[in-house]
Amino acid sequence: MKSCIFFGHRTVTQNIRDELFSQISYLIESCGVDTFWVGHQGSFDETVISVLESIKKVYTCISCTIVIANLRDLNKKCVYELDTIFPEELEGSIPRFAIDKRNRWMIERSDFAITYVMRDGGAQKYKDILLKKNKTVIEISK
């Protein structure tokens, strides 16, 4: 089992759907990735979720899961077709640190990451962590 996670800015300034679809397909076909985890904090995550929902119809054996950062998000109406999890390790997290803790949880369980980084900020921070941990990072903003 190999896994891929996603990090990007809340706001997406270009159409990245085709590039995401292409990179995810490559990871499935050429690298044996069968598990995908994504957050749900902004338009990048929403775009990834939409692409994963489409790609799951083509590659039915893959697992695609939304990883929520706090329990209050379980109460929000979920309009996605993907599974949703709340990692046990995040229980009791202080809300302002929950996203960071969730992101680090995903990093520890990943082999690959697809990132959308256009400027300094959270997405760049997690990309740097991934690189320091020698994870394979595919950048789609270039």
Report pLDDT digits (tens) over 62-114. 999 999 998 766 665 456 778 889 998 888 888 889 999 999 999 999 999 99
Does residue 47 have a pLDDT over 90? yes
Q: What is the pLDDT of residue 96?
A: 85
Structural domain of 15? 2-139
Q: How many structural domains compose the chain?
A: 1
- pLDDT-derived band at 10, boundaries 50, 70, 90: confident
CATH classification at residue 63: 3.40.50.450
Q: What is the pLDDT of residue 91?
A: 85
CA distances from 28 to 2, 3, 111, 127, 129 (A): 9, 10, 12, 21, 23
Q: What is the pLDDT of residue 48?
A: 95
**Contact between residue 133 and residue 7 where contact means Cβ atoms under 8 Å apart:** no
Question: Residue 6 forms beta bridges with which residues?
Answer: 114
Does residue 141 have a pLDDT over 80? no
* The length of the chain, given as a count of residues: 142
pTM of the model: 0.91
